[in-house]
A and B are shown apart, each in its own frame.
Chain A
Amino acid sequence: MNLLLSAFIIFVGGSFLSLGLVKYPRVLRVVGPGSVVIGSVLGIQPVLSSLILGTCDFLQMPWQIPMGSMSIGIDPLSAIFAIAILFVSPLAAVFGAGYLKSFEDTHDLGKSWFFFNLLVASMLLVVLARNALLFLIAWEVMSLASFFLVVFEHERDSVRRAGWIYFIATHIGTAFLLVMFLLLGRHAGSLEFSTFFNCGLSSHLVSVVFVFAVIGFGTKAGFMPFHVWLPEAHPAAPSHVSALMSGVMIKTGIYGLLRTLTFLGCPPAWWGWTIIIIGVVSGICGVLFALAQHDIKRLLAYHSVENIGIIALGLGVGLLGVSHGNAVVAFLGFAGGLLHVVNHAVFKSLLFLGAGSVLHSAGTREIDHLGGLIKKMPLTATAFLIGSAAICGLPPLNGFVSEFFIYVGAFEGMSRDGLSSGAAIGGILAITALALIGGLAVACFTKAFGIVFLGEPRSKHCEHAHESCMSMRIPMVLLSLACVAMGLWGFFAFGVMSNVTSVLTSGLTFDPATCGLITPYQDVLLSVTLFALALIVVIGSLIFLRSWLMSGRIQQSAVTWDCGYLAPNSRMQYTASSFAQPITKFFRTFLQTKRYVSPPEGFFPKTASFSSETDDFYGEQVYKPTFNALESWLSRFRQIQHGQLNLYIMYIIIALVVLFVWKLR
């Protein structure tokens, strides 16, 4: 605990120190990311020990704020999120040190590092807090710090607009959380988390708390339809910030939801259903919208929605298992979902850093303007390839392990009960959705990797492309290695995940970790590890065999065979849009892609053009009309806004007097 506290203090100290070092960019370049690295290294030991040994620790200090107390604690559930924070943050910070160098003359980097450190500190506090007031304060600081990081390039219109959308979305979410915690606190008589469990809420109030938690935390996590801020904010933010936000920050939403679930006792079946349906919708629509994007960071942002959907599928299967009293399904579902939290943190931040590296060197995020970058940026390309294969859930990488858990859990849910109980249909839904998502993710990432890095350059942007500097390369290498290593650690993950899931089921009648039903799955995971190893060994020896076969052979090079056409140029290549076109057309009902075509006309056509654009369905069809209506209704109140200070003071006095009278009544 002391180490975690000192990590927290170093983050906060580093943030204020960065603010003071604006005048000394060279020192700032070291101090800003340095404090994140040192703090994370300090904090990682207690987190790991809690995760592996399953220990809990708790610390309470008095605090001068009414209803608040400085209660922090760590248990395996907090630890699994904290490990993602403490692993990804320092790497994103080191990447940021290189990435921000080109902004040194034009932007205030002191503020940027101030908010970055603050964001890391507040994320850590969110997962450690054991008091609702402390949690909400940390949550708000996290939202504000990330908002200021998103609007780093605030001189651009699009960035300000994206920041604004994020700002509103996150605060609407927080409003729901405020009500939720007040409901819990009113019945428990205190805002301490420890008093919330079984605090005597009536059954429909419990349901209200659950729905508010899903909306409030789901807005942060990016559950569809509350996801609209992700595809706006992630492309606007600097890449190391998008990596941190998409890889780690949105997971605090998942954490909050799970922490709330531990207060509420045994869940009714419809909770599991709600989460599974949210998972299916977020997963499938997320990957479909990703497929239709032309902007690489926007594509990755939609992919976060998809992965949050996969996490939700796992948690939903777990919840169904709990409500049907099936320990195996509960364990496999929760374990899969939570393992995917960590896995997604690793490969999504890797992909965002890769995209940042491309943006930094080629200067554009348009996939259709890029191409052939693997020759100029071999390391970035390899890292991006590993991240792409991992996010598609392909063995032997880490994405496979967590999806495997969810598949097996869904299957167990399907086979243990008859059709009459809902768990069976839940399992089938999860399997169908995962299979479809898997196929679409392969389509999406072969497109992203293939069009950006392979083939011939499609525009002048690629001419000046170069490999990034050392501080940008090292984090990508480490994250790629983590993808491979975590693909092989399924066997070890078993013990860790049983620690974590026992926190989730601690208040219930059964505990999967101790009831012995789940031990056979330890061998299953050992087999997965062995087969992943076998895959690596077989491919490795085949590569060796091939190079032996090719030695001494004449290897000629020629132009790509284009069926006899001898003057191919780069504009003849397939583009990202044409690659995805069959699928986007197949799913056009959901996507509603707008197409702007001016076809070639006449016998000797000179000009023709085509472009397409896929707006977010919910953003355009749901939120825009709602907020427009709200604005026109609220504009009536402009009459009382005169912009004169004395009038406002009068309003305040009137409000105080009214409150006073109401209290005395």
Chain B
Amino acid sequence: MDVAHYMGVPLGLCMAPLLLGIINRTKAFFAGRNGSPLFQAYYDIWKLLRKDAVYSRTTTWIFRSAPVVGLGSVMIAMILVPVAGSSLFAFTGDLIFFAYCLGLMRFATVIAALDTGSSFEGMGASREVHFSTLAEPALLLGLAALAKLSGSFSLTGMFGGLSGSDWLASGPAIALIAFAVFVVFLAENARIPVDDPNTHLELTMIHEVMILDYSGPDLGIVLYAAALKLWVLGALIVNILICAADLSGFSGLIVFAGGMFILAVLVGIVESIMARLSLLKVPQLLVGAGAMSVLALILVMRFTS
């Protein structure tokens, strides 16, 4: 029980927007541009928090409170995610609480989008609920497979219970889970190939169109909450991959942060070399991720006792 144990949440709260900077720099590198500064997301959030706001006449308190509800729930989810093998708090079944906190965030965002009465935002909301319906079983089944493998039903116990020997014994299953969670991570955070975070006024978007009417501090909160969501879901993948190293303390913290940055680079590479999938193909991708989770679960149950 050292200082590093308490550092997971502050680390996430501070570093999450940096992931956006790394993704953008990677994309700029592939496109042969210089790109925006690494800390651009921080500048944006700071700038927005100091601005005035414009609200649609149609909107009500639902629209105004949704960003805060989303931020609050993703912060609570962050407490449960282990960093370098330990989290502030863990209990049996906390991964359910984790998944449903993100569900609460989605619920708030979707009804806020419907609050504006805009057809664009309705469209984004409709797509969001459709895709997340398919992403949720993929995530929970993948985590259930991990839980079965490690014999624990809390996020900390799951990642703490995995070791290098598990990778040797059931490497394919863990790789399948990591891939399935990666697909869910891309879909839930509105990244390519599911959604394109760069287009703001196209009919192709999901997350960006839902927040079209936000301005000022509210938009800042929305951006920050989205960065935190990127961090917490990314942390699951990094935890799966670095659990083999069995690190703890400050060295674990540093390896974890390094892992998050490599993940951000990976997202940048995916966004640079892939086009966004056609909307009709996205469900196939997500169902495919679900199938991988199921396959991993079958492998885990069949080949471990």
Binding site for B on A (CB under 8 A): 371-372, 374-375, 385, 389, 392-395, 400, 403-404, 407-408, 411-412, 414-415, 418-419, 424, 428, 431-432, 435-436, 438-440, 442-443, 446-447, 449-451, 454-456, 520-521, 523-524, 527-528, 531, 534-535, 538-539, 542-543, 546, 549-550, 553-563, 568, 570, 572-574, 578-583, 586
A463 to chain B, nearest CB (A): 16
A577 to chain B, nearest CB (A): 10
Are A418 and B301 touching (Cβ within 8 A)? Answer: yes
Are A553 and B153 touching (Cβ within 8 A)? Answer: no
B149 to chain A, nearest CB (A): 10
Are B91 and A449 touching (Cβ within 8 A)? Answer: no
Are B68 and A542 touching (Cβ within 8 A)? Answer: yes
Are B144 and A578 touching (Cβ within 8 A)? Answer: no
Give a binary string over B130-147; 1 marks a CB under 8 Å from any A CB, 0 the rest. 101111110111001001
Question: Size band of the B side of the interface?
Answer: 35 or more
Give a binary string over B48-63; 1 marks a CB under 8 Å from any A CB, 0 the rest. 0101111111111010
> Looking across the interface, which residue of chain B has its beta carbon closest to that of A406?
B96
Q: Can you show 10 pairs from A to B with CB atoms below 8 A apart?
A: A411-B93, A431-B140, A442-B110, A454-B111, A521-B92, A534-B79, A539-B72, A549-B49, A582-B130, A583-B133
CB neighbours of B51 from chain A (8 A) = 553
A627 to chain B, nearest CB (A): 35
Known: A435-B137, A449-B111, A546-B217. A408 touches B153 (CB 8 A): yes
Residue in contact with A431 in the complex, picked from B59, B62, B123, B144, CB distance below 8 Å: B144
Residue in contact with A446 in the complex, picked from B59, B107, B123, CB distance below 8 Å: B107
Are B151 and A415 touching (Cβ within 8 A)? Answer: yes
A276 to chain B, nearest CB (A): 16
Are A550 and B65 touching (Cβ within 8 A)? Answer: no
Q: Which secondary structure characterizes the binding site on chain B?
A: helix
Known: A404-B97, A436-B136, A438-B100. A546 touches B213 (CB 8 A): no
Residue in contact with A408 in the complex, picked from B68, B71, B93, B127, CB distance below 8 Å: B93
Residue in contact with A455 in the complex, picked from B58, B147, B201, B212, CB distance below 8 Å: B58
Residue in contact with B52 in the complex, picked from A524, A538, A553, CB distance below 8 Å: A553
Are A573 and B119 touching (Cβ within 8 A)? Answer: yes
> Looking across the interface, which residue of chain B has its beta carbon closest to that of A455?
B117
Question: CA separation between A554 and B101, bound complex, in Å?
Answer: 32
CB neighbours of B137 from chain A (8 A) = 432, 435-436, 439
> Looking across the interface, which residue of chain A has its beta carbon closest to that of B94?
A527
Are A579 and B122 touching (Cβ within 8 A)? Answer: yes
Are B147 and A573 touching (Cβ within 8 A)? Answer: no
> Looking across the interface, which residue of chain A has its beta carbon closest to that of B68?
A542
Q: Is B106 an interface residue (CB 8 A)?
A: yes
CB neighbours of A562 from chain B (8 A) = 118-120
Question: CA separation between A450 and B114, bound complex, in Å?
Answer: 6
Q: Is B236 an interface residue (CB 8 A)?
A: no
> Looking across the interface, which residue of chain B has its beta carbon closest to that of A440?
B133
Are A568 and B97 touching (Cβ within 8 A)? Answer: no
Are A553 and B216 touching (Cβ within 8 A)? Answer: yes
Q: Is B175 an interface residue (CB 8 A)?
A: no
Are A439 and B56 touching (Cβ within 8 A)? Answer: no
Question: CA separation between A523 and B93, bound complex, in Å?
Answer: 12
Q: Is B76 an interface residue (CB 8 A)?
A: yes
Question: CA separation between A339 and B206, bound complex, in Å?
Answer: 36
Q: 6 closest Cβ contacts across the A-B interface?
A: A574-B122, A450-B114, A455-B117, A439-B133, A539-B72, A527-B91
List residues 282-305 of chain B with CB under 8 A from any CB of chain A: 283, 297-298, 301-302, 305
Residue in contact with A535 in the complex, picked from B72, B91, B116, B218, CB distance below 8 Å: B72
Sample of 6 further A-B pairs with CB below 8 A, known A393-B103, A418-B305, A527-B91: A372-B117, A432-B137, A450-B110, A528-B97, A554-B53, A574-B123
Question: CA separation between A553 and B53, bound complex, in Å?
Answer: 7
CB neighbours of B71 from chain A (8 A) = 542
CB neighbours of A418 from chain B (8 A) = 301, 305
Are B126 and A555 touching (Cβ within 8 A)? Answer: no
